[in-house]
Structure 1
Amino acid sequence: MGFLESVLTEMIDQKMRYSSQRVSVLAQNIANVDTPGFKAKDLQAPDFNQMLEENQRLRMSRTNAAHLATTSNLTAPYYAVKPRQDTYETKPNGNNVTLEEEMMHLSTTSFDHQLALNLHESVDKRYKMVLGLPVN
């Protein structure tokens, strides 16, 4: 972990990465709304409790520059693309994507991303304030 990084900022960054990838998956669903047999996909949501537990475990420390560098436990992805099981309807052609449902998920994801961005900016401002740097 760097000087100005913390578990909180890493978790916020993970949430923003998750939101960005989820938008891509939802866009693929929307693009295939009329494709016969296409099944809606979604990302497995990150488990922030698991992230915290793993991050609080005892880690190796680097005592010599020749040693391998340690990495944060939060760098591994905690989500994967999976078929969505709970869709509103399945069309006769086997497609289970509905535009309304995808737009709802897209709106929620956009809101979550904006919230994470606002939290990140707030943390950055606090660091600047503590360091005596000008806060915008």
Structure 2
Amino acid sequence: MDINLDIHPKPFTEHLEVQYFPAEIESDGEANVNEYFNNYTVSENGHLTNSLRGFPLDGIEFQVPSNLKGLVFQESLNTSDENCGKLFRVAGTFDNFTYWNYDKVPSAADGLRQAFEVLAVADELNKPLSAKDIQNEIDHKLSIKKEES
């Protein structure tokens, strides 16, 4: 089945408040998050605590790297062609989000945090090198070889 992304500039102006939960919630409806969840979030020294359906949550505010943009997609009915597959539209953007774990403090060992680290490494590996950078590396390697002989 095809997945189509419909990306228009207008939704990029809508900034969303995003929370990442390690759970599957079987609902597509509206939720009054401010009244029933955010009001019960406790913050101490950047560490957040709350609970979801009786399960303790520990969280942190996570900043999306400055060279990236967080996008929220919403599935839309594709009425133009029923053989076209699923259609997703951009609902808005985010620069930071609240990252929650069940009963453990989020750490660098979490899969999501490691995924962002991989993105940072990939970004560094893909930076172009100038001729001066290459020459400096060659000179450095030659100087090491001279010292060894």
TM category (shorter chain) comes to under 0.3
Larger C-alpha radius of gyration, 1 or 2?
Answer: 2
Greater relative contact order (CA < 8 Å, ≥ 6 in sequence) = 1
Q: TM-score, normalised by structure 1?
A: 0.26
